[in-house]
Amino acid sequence: MSEKRALIIDDEKMFADFVRQVAEGMGYVVEVTDQAEDFKESFLRFDPTVIILDMVMPGVEGIELVNWLAEVGCSARIMVVTGYNPHYVDFAKTIGSARGLVSVQSYTKPISLADLRKALA
């Protein structure tokens, strides 16, 4: 399996496609979903090294997935992103760190190409 694996969950197709293209250009194998159950299945099967997680999606809140990732002992870097209130991603970062997640970073949309590349490097 490739050393660099990115799992993206985002309901904004254009943003998810942007992240996918950048990650693939940097040598990542990428999986994308917009559904929580697909995300969980992909996480367990795919064993990502980085997760790009949207905080606000229909049917699931990103904080629920952050909690689930902590429960299953996720060791991947987690990039929490939102186009809404930036304090929401900071809250997810605080919760993730408190629950033992190793690396939780927060970003607001839109994220620049340079910042995305830096975050994935």
Predicted local distance difference test score (pLDDT) of residue 95: 78
DSSP string, 51-112: EEEESEETTEEHHHHHHHHHHTT--SEEEEEESS-HHHHHHHHHHHHHTT-SEEEEEESSPP
Determine the average pLDDT of the residues in 39-62: 93
Determine the average pLDDT of the residues in 50-57: 92
48: region left, alpha or beta (phi > 0 left; psi from -120 to 50 alpha): beta
Query: What pTM does this model have?
Result: 0.92
Predicted local distance difference test score (pLDDT) of residue 39: 97
DSSP 3-state of 31: strand
CATH code of the domain in which 116 resides: 3.40.50.2300
**Percentage above 90 pLDDT, the chain:** 65
Determine the average pLDDT of the residues in 61-74: 91
Q: Does the structure show a pLDDT above 60 at 1?
A: no
Predicted local distance difference test score (pLDDT) of residue 2: 57
Q: Could you say which DSSP state residue 26 is in?
A: T
The residue among 60 and 86 whose pLDDT is bigger is 60
Tell me the two tokens of residue 15. 């943003």
Predicted local distance difference test score (pLDDT) of residue 6: 98
Helix (H) or strand (E) holding 120: helix 113-120
Determine the average pLDDT of the residues in 27-34: 97
Q: Give the residue numbers spanning the domain of 112.
A: 5-120
Predicted local distance difference test score (pLDDT) of residue 29: 97
Q: How many domains does one find in the chain? A: 1
